């Protein structure tokens, strides 16, 4: 039992540190007003609904888990609008490559975390494995259109006038 508690505690601490680091990165890059007040508002609403509407731990966990899955998948789906623009223009200059790579790494790490916790976490796995798959699609699209639209000079070919 002590090993299970230690392992669960270690996973939880790693998860909290990762979430805090990504949130601080978002706040340092994003609009301070939007970051501060929007996150406080959503968190307050989630806490109030959870505490007032659900009275058992199982119901609260289910509600927060479903909430996390919905908004986590929306988080990973946000760059898909850029994918539409890349397909219509056939140019990859609109696609943020670093965001796609970070999404893939984030989804893969959290999916591995969900599978390695002593109590298998479906909510984390569903959201982040979906995110990893969407990131792979984004990177595939980036590779396809960057190869198709590369300048001949970048491929080592000379243009003659």
The domain spanning residue 115 has which CATH number?
A: 1.20.1280.290
Q: What is the mean pLDDT of residues 16-39?
A: 66
Stated pTM of the model: 0.64
Residue 121, classed as helix, strand or coil, is coil
Q: Calculate mean pLDDT across residues 45-74.
A: 84
Number of domains in the chain: 1
Asked whether residue 160 is assigned to any structural domain, the reply reads no
Is 161 within the bounds of a domain?
A: no
Whether 114 maps to a domain, the answer reads yes
Is 158 contained in some domain? Answer: no
CB neighbour class for 152 (10 Å; exposed up to 12, middle 13-18, buried from 19): exposed
78 lies in which domain range?
Answer: 2-148
Whether residue 112 lies inside any domain: the answer is yes
| pLDDT of residue 99 exceeding 70 | yes
- Contact by Cβ (8 Å): 147, 90: no
Mean pLDDT for all residues in the chain: 77
- Do residues 104 and 139 touch, judged by C-beta distance below 8 A? yes
Neighbours of 11 (CB within 10 A): 17
């Amino acid at each position: 039992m002590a090993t299970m508690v230690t392992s669960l505690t270690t996973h939880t601490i790693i998860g909290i540190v990762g979430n805090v680091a990504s949130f601080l990165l978002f706040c340092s890059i994003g609009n301070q007003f939007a970051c501060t007040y929007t996150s406080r508002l959503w968190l307050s609403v989630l806490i109030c609904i959870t505490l007032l509407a659900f009275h058992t731990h199982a119901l609260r966990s289910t509600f927060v888990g479903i909430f996390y899955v919905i908004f986590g998948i929306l988080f990973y789906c946000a760059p898909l609008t850029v994918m539409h623009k890349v397909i219509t223009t056939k140019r990859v200059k609109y696609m943020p490559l670093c965001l796609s790579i970070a999404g893939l790494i984030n989804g893969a790490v959290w999916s591995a975390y969900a599978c390695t916790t002593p109590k298998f976490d479906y909510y984390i796995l569903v959201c982040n494995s979906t995110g990893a798959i969407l990131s792979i699609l984004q990177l595939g699209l980036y590779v396809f259109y960057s190869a198709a639209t590369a300048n001949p000079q970048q491929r080592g070919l000379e243009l003659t006038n």
